[in-house]
Amino acid sequence: MLYTLSFCTKESNKDQKVFQKKAAHKTQGKNIKKEFTFRFYAELNDFLSPERKQKPFLQAFKTPISVRETLESIGIPLSEVDMILVNEKAVDFEHQLREGDFISVYPVFESLDITPVTKARKTPLRDPCFVLDAHLGKLAKYLRMLGFDTLYRPDIDDDEIISVSKKEKRIILTRDKLLLKSKEVSHGYFVRAIDKHEQLNEVIKKFDLYSKFNSFTRCMTCNAELIPKKKEEIAGKINPETAQFFNEFYYCPHCDKVFWKGSHFERMEKQILSLIT
């Protein structure tokens, strides 16, 4: 982590001198707009046009202007931003920019501890519970299977996603960039992968969930927590053959269903775990 950050800072150091000179030169005269240099790192480049990706670029804004206003105007969802450096000093979204400033913007490094230098958000995103948009049904099932509290309904709309995210401190996972650009969203992540297996892999990596797997604790259908039951407690709900071969049972109080770790579950678990690299 330290290596990554110091590498990025070193790079921006060099860029900074060149661009500050350019900015100062260009803004001499009667131009009322002031120029600033921006550099976005890692996956934040997904929100930029090709000519702006992975390199510093100049953009002029009328001043006074805050970091928040410039990022919104450039099209970066604030929920994806975790650290902002202005001339190498960490600042928050409300920081007022001055002519010639060099702004380096880093994505949410959920898996990395950068708390000491993070100012963009007061409380880091550490609680792995989620609300998913209507297109991520399969991903929701997989996350539930691994034990993660995952809210999903095929008919959920954007307003509900945002309100439940705020109320229950859930991280929004979505394939909709517009949703993340809402000012109401503070905890959100744009899922890049399209394939459901790759989506799971991406989310687990992004939020460093490896040590938090807790399989068979949550209903894959409704997200309710499963309750371990003894065989005699659920005797009327399973067929005699199942009762003969299995001893561990789990009950979903919401769906009124009983589950057990049969071959189907084991096959699926193996398959899912093999996908996570």
User: Which residues make up the interface to Zn ion (CB under 5 A)?
Assistant: 219, 221-222, 224, 252, 254-255
Pairing verdict, β 227-229 and 188-190: unpaired
Question: Nearest approach, Cβ of 157 to Zn ion (angstroms)?
Answer: 22
In DSSP terms, 227 is beta-bridged to: 251
- Residue 96 or 221 with smaller CB distance to Zn ion: 221
Contact 166, 184 (CB under 8 A): yes
- Residue 197 or 257 with smaller CB distance to Zn ion: 257
Question: Nearest approach, Cβ of 259 to Zn ion (angstroms)?
Answer: 9
Question: Nearest approach, Cβ of 169 to Zn ion (angstroms)?
Answer: 22
Q: Which residue has the tokens 């109080």?
A: 253
Question: Can you list the alpha helix ranges (DSSP code H) found in 112-262?
Answer: 137-145, 158-168, 177-180, 196-206, 240-245
CA distances from 72 to 76, 82, 159, 181, 206 (A): 6, 14, 20, 8, 23
* SS3 at position 84: strand
Tokens of 59: 């953009």
Question: Nearest approach, Cβ of 226 to Zn ion (angstroms)?
Answer: 8
Question: Nearest approach, Cβ of 174 to Zn ion (angstroms)?
Answer: 24
Amino acid identity of 126?
Answer: R
- Residue 243 or 255 with smaller CB distance to Zn ion: 255
Question: Nearest approach, Cβ of 268 to Zn ion (angstroms)?
Answer: 16
Tokens of 31: 């131009």
Phi and psi for 129 in degrees, rounded to 5? Answer: -125, 145
User: Would you give the DSSP letter of residue 63?
Assistant: S
Separation between Cα atoms, residue 118 and residue 121, nearest integer Å = 7
